[in-house]
A and B are shown apart, each in its own frame.
Chain A
Amino acid sequence: ELKVEQNPLFLSMQEGKNYTIYCNYSTTSDRLYWYRQDPGKSLESLFVLLSNGAVKQEGRLMASLDTKARLSTLHITAAVHDLSATYFCAVDPRNYGGSQGNLIFGKGTKLSVKP
């Protein structure tokens, strides 16, 4: 059974600080996705990571994937209040080709950025 674990589950940080959210998964996969969800809203795709060593950056967020360690990180640089949301990682358990499969989600990290 594939398990996806995120930590921390709750993160309160001050504006201007840096922090990293971790996503560990229990089986081999080369497909990992990060989503953002604002309260009461849908999920918005942030990053798609499809190979070992993949790194993607968008503004103050940077995501990376280490398939050998089965670990992805979401790094926040100089946090601002607008980044407050819940962040989910999701792993596709089908590897190395084949049709798009379903996603297994972590429980989410609720980020609160305070002035």
Chain B
Amino acid sequence: NAGVTQTPKFQVLKTGQSMTLQCAQDMNHNSMYWYRQDPGMGLRLIYYSASEGTTDKGEVPNGYNVSRLNKREFSLRLESAAPSQTSVYFCASSEDRWTGAFFGQGTRLTVV
């Protein structure tokens, strides 16, 4: 049971470079999320998608774009990376309130 799979696990970017973080879930969940985790800050929502074809901004969307490619996949793009985007990024998915969200293993991104 793969659950939520994120790629890559680690990435180093130079300031101004772009990249896309990939996320796929095999649980047939409708909702998917991207969070970032910074020391002492908990997790903060970047974007979410309540269903295929829809996306909404979360608490910290600036500098990011997302694509809900299909029900399984939800990608996060950094168009022009900045050092402030150095963080650990988690993708999550959920079906309903009864189970809450399931998280991927995270992507540790460093922007130099």
The count of chain A contact residues (Cβ–Cβ below 8 Å) is 25
- Interface residues of B, dominant DSSP: loop
- Our pick among B42, B44, B94, B102 for the contact of A108 (Cβ within 8 Å) is B42
The count of chain B contact residues (Cβ–Cβ below 8 Å) is 30
Say yes or no: A99-B31 contact (C-beta < 8 A), given A42-B90, A50-B97, A107-B41. yes
| Min C-beta distance of B2 to chain A, whole Å | 13
Complex contact A45–B99 (CB within 8 A): yes
Complex contact A100–B97 (CB within 8 A): yes
| Min C-beta distance of B106 to chain A, whole Å | 6
Q: B53 at the A/B interface (Cβ < 8 Å)?
A: no
**Nearest B residue to A107, CB-CB:** B42
Complex contact B102–A45 (CB within 8 A): yes
- Our pick among B48, B94, B106 for the contact of A42 (Cβ within 8 Å) is B106
* Bound CA span A33–B96, Å: 13
Q: A-contacting residues of B (Cβ < 8 Å)? A: 30-31, 33, 35, 40-45, 48, 50-51, 58-59, 90, 92, 94-106
List, sorted by A's number, 14 A–B pairs whose CB atoms are closer than 8 Å.
A4-B42, A31-B97, A42-B90, A42-B106, A45-B101, A48-B97, A48-B99, A48-B100, A90-B43, A99-B51, A100-B97, A101-B50, A103-B45, A105-B43
